[in-house]
Amino acid sequence: MPARSRPAPTLDTVAAEAGVSRQTVSNALNSPHLLRADTLARVQLAIDKLGYSPNRAARNLRTRASHLIGLRLEPFIEGSASGLMDRFLHQLAESSRGSGLHVLLFTGDDHTNPLDGYDALLRSAAVDGFVVTDTYRGNPAATWLSERQVPFVAFGRPWDDADAKHPWVDVDGRAGVALAVDHLVDRGHQRIAWIGWQKNSYLGEDRRSGWVDRMHERGLSTSRLSARGDDTIDFGSRATYALLDSEQPTAFVCASDTLAMGVLQALRDRGVRPGGLIGQGEIAVVGFDDSLPAQVTELTSVRQPLEQVAVEIVKLLDQRLAHPMTGQPGVVLTPTLSERSTS
């Protein structure tokens, strides 16, 4: 371990130590097959002895690559965040390592402009590519980057642009909700209600279709059992009251944990225990996202496989960086169900 005051070893230092040329040391690191076995061993020894690591700046300059991928943190919305970013980032950093990449975070100066920040990093060659999250609100970053042929992978489908060519990874919300419906039907529920978002949300409609279709597949009616509104606890509660009074559902499936929290609150106010025992008047609740509040309140919830998502994103980005115009456009992953006491 070299003291920090001593100058860091360079290729030349190592070369002198091993009695070879600078280039041979470079080859030992990047193309070891070019070296004779004994030379390679000698160079390796010198590298280890001196504790040499190639200088990233010099390598970046020469190869015109930074091995960094940019991720823009979108404006933090207090309370509404389900805390998924934490899990996602973690795995992203983790799986980047395997490809010799690192994640660089940035934010926009101007939060109202969703493109802000990308251009600067790109022009200064600070990053090789991007991971674009938050595509649900129709993130224009995807279009902008596509036009400039910048390597990037989106977390989220390009719902509104059927012939988008960029790679993306998404979670099958429809399948996740279908999973929840199956779970409930298997436990004897027949009148299963849906509480979700407004019609203009692609994501919301996708999730809802999982409820509609699976209910019909299992021979159950969805008539009058659906409510749509804002993604708030309050709306979740109000919808629950209304549905309980008019349709007597025995279970609720929600488009988000936030809505499910509203359901739990309403049930508590009515003195109904949330749970799976249908014969004993209990009412089941399933949320979506497996957020911290869900875990704490023992809420059954659909869990996005964020770890897999991150792995796939890095894989696709890696492909894209190696061969700019290849790779399948989209990958869809299936969620799981975290079964807890509310179902």
Positions touching a second copy (CB under 8 A) are: 1, 3-5, 8, 51-58, 60-61, 64, 66, 68, 73, 76, 78-79, 81-83, 85-87, 89-90, 92-94, 97, 102-107, 109, 119-120, 123-126, 148-150, 233, 258, 261, 268, 291-293, 295-297
- Selected binder of DNA within 16, 44, 50, 54 (CB under 7 A): 54
Q: Given the complex with DNA, which of 100 and 219 has the nearer CB atom?
A: 100
How many whole angstroms from its chain centre is CA 142?
A: 16
Q: Given the complex with DNA, which of 20 and 175 has the nearer CB atom?
A: 20
E strands in 289-324:
300-303
Q: Given the complex with DNA, which of 24 and 258 has the nearer CB atom?
A: 24
What x/- string results for residues 62 through 91 when contact with DNA is judged by CB under 7 A? Answer: xxx---------------------------
Q: Which string of DSSP letters, residue by residue, matches 8-72?
A: PP-HHHHHHHHTS-HHHHHHHHH-GGGS-HHHHHHHHHHHHHHT----HHHHHHHHT---EEEEE
Please report whether residue 30 would count as binding DNA according to CB under 7 A.
Answer: yes
If contact means CB under 5 to 8 A according to the sort of partner, which of DNA, a second copy, none does residue 26 touch?
Answer: DNA
136: DSSP letter: G
Q: Provide, rounded to whole angstroms, the least separation between the CB of residue 19 and DNA.
A: 7
- Closest to 294 measured CA to CA, from 210, 247, 248, 233: 233
Q: How many residues bind DNA (CB under 7 A)?
A: 27
Q: Given the complex with a second copy, which of 36 and 123 has the nearer CB atom?
A: 123
Please report whether residue 120 would count as binding DNA according to CB under 7 A.
Answer: no
If contact means CB under 5 to 8 A according to the sort of partner, which of DNA, a second copy, none does residue 51 touch?
Answer: a second copy
Report the distance separating Cα 26 and Cα 11, nearest Å. Answer: 7
Q: Are 18 and 42 in contact (CB under 8 A)?
A: yes
- Closest to 227 measured CA to CA, from 80, 219, 249: 249
What is the SS3 assignment for 100-122? CCEEEEECCCCCCCCCCCHHHHH
Q: Which residues bind DNA (CB under 7 A)?
A: 7-8, 10-12, 20-24, 26-27, 29-30, 34-36, 39, 52, 54-55, 58-59, 61-64
